[in-house]
Structure 1
Amino acid sequence: MPLDPTDRKLLAALQRDGRASMEALSQLVHLSARATLNRVRKLEADGHIEGYRAVLARASLGEHVSVFAEIALKDQRRATAQRFERHMLACPEVVACYLISGRYDYLVRVACRDLAHYRDLTSVWLDDVTLGIEKIMTNTELQTVKEFAGFPLPLVKP
């Protein structure tokens, strides 16, 4: 079933505040708390909501540097990409990894204590021939202008 306007309102509200009470959500969508809870549970069961998490204040984590690494692999074989992706998934410093088109194969966002930590991490990656990395182009974040806060959910008119 496609999402109706009420579902979209609920999803938009939950993206803004995943801890919103059913009472607050029910007032937003003009349904009873029970009907709203049933809709939210259905959205979860249908896979529209993958989970809930806390967004941490980055400043509270102490000094760190955020780096965007554009990574090109030596070849495009499926096995090479799978090994690389498994390694990125297991690396705690990698906070996001995207397969992209263009001159590079992946865009990886890395959070490290400092640039020396990042240099050591990527040196290990480059030395590991099983990862198949040809080159890494590094872009250091100077300031976050806008952080990801959810996907746009235009309301569909009934």
Structure 2
Amino acid sequence: MELDRADLKLLDLLQRDGRTTVQALSEAIHLSARATLNRVRKLESEGMIEGYRALVSRSALGQQICVFAEIALKDQRQATIQKFEKRMAQTTEVVACYVISGRYDYIARIACTSLDVYHRLINEWLDDTSLGVEKIVTNIELQTIKEFAGFPLPAAHSSHRN
């Protein structure tokens, strides 16, 4: 899907606040509410907008630790990889998991109420030989400098260049 300046502006605004009204969106992109709503629906149907969610304050959830776990698998067979990835997707404490290049196969961001809970969790993974986990290196998050707030959007093509 080719994105024009109005589409990019809509994506930017909705990425910042998914609850922005159609009226406010239409004023920002200088189109009618109907045309704006049609654009938003098209962005959704084309998969440019995957969904909407609320960002819950971590402090509202009580004391939590966040850990980045670098995970290496000893078994690279497809069945093992699929089982491991399914376990990551189903584990509530795993808030993000990525396949990475380099020394480790995955990096997972894990939120737990305590280090004991984290330790039990990773021991379960290590003890389950069907997951093929060879090694887990733990990095504890000490402070969040910048939290994920959306992807950078490309600049709209313009005839004016500075």
TM tier, shorter chain?
Answer: over 0.9
Q: Give how far 1:77 is off.
A: 1.5
User: What runs of 5+ residues in structure 2 fail to find an aligned partner?
Assistant: none
Q: CA RMSD in A?
A: 0.7
**What secondary structure, in the 3-state scheme, does the structure 1 residue paired with 2:150 have?**
coil
Query: Is 2:2 the counterpart of 1:7?
Result: no
**What secondary structure, in the 3-state scheme, does the structure 1 residue paired with 2:11 have?**
helix
Hey, which bits of structure 1, 4+ residues long, moved more than 4 A? none
Counterpart CA distance in 1 for 2:37 and 2:155 is 20
**Which residue pairs with 2:34 in the alignment?**
34
**Which residue pairs with 1:21 in the alignment?**
21
**What secondary structure, in the 3-state scheme, does the structure 2 residue paired with 1:31 have?**
coil
User: What runs of 5+ residues in structure 1 fail to find an aligned partner?
Assistant: none
Q: Give how far 1:80 is off.
A: 1.3
* Residue identity in the other structure for 2:128: D
**Which residue pairs with 2:121 in the alignment?**
121
Q: Give how far 1:66 is off.
A: 0.3
Counterpart CA distance in 2 for 1:80 and 1:2 is 39
Counterpart CA distance in 2 for 1:22 and 1:104 is 44
**Which residue pairs with 1:45 in the alignment?**
45
8 Å Cα contact 1:99/1:105 also seen in 2: yes
**Which residue pairs with 1:141 in the alignment?**
141
Q: Give how far 1:154 is off.
A: 2.7
Counterpart CA distance in 2 for 1:50 and 1:107 is 23
* Residue identity in the other structure for 1:140: I
Map of 1:94-109 to 2, 5 A cutoff? 94-109=94-109
Moved more, 9-18 or 71-80: 71-80
- Identity in percent: 64
**What secondary structure, in the 3-state scheme, does the structure 1 residue paired with 2:72 have?**
strand
Query: Is 2:73 the counterpart of 1:77?
Result: no
Q: Give how far 1:75 is off.
A: 2.2
Cα deviation, 1:25-47, whole Å, max 9, x if unaligned, reads 00110000110000000000110
Aligned residues: 158
8 Å Cα contact 1:9/1:155 also seen in 2: no
* Residue identity in the other structure for 1:84: F
* Residue identity in the other structure for 1:151: F
Counterpart CA distance in 1 for 2:104 and 2:74 is 11
* Residue identity in the other structure for 2:78: R
Counterpart CA distance in 2 for 1:147 and 1:57 is 11
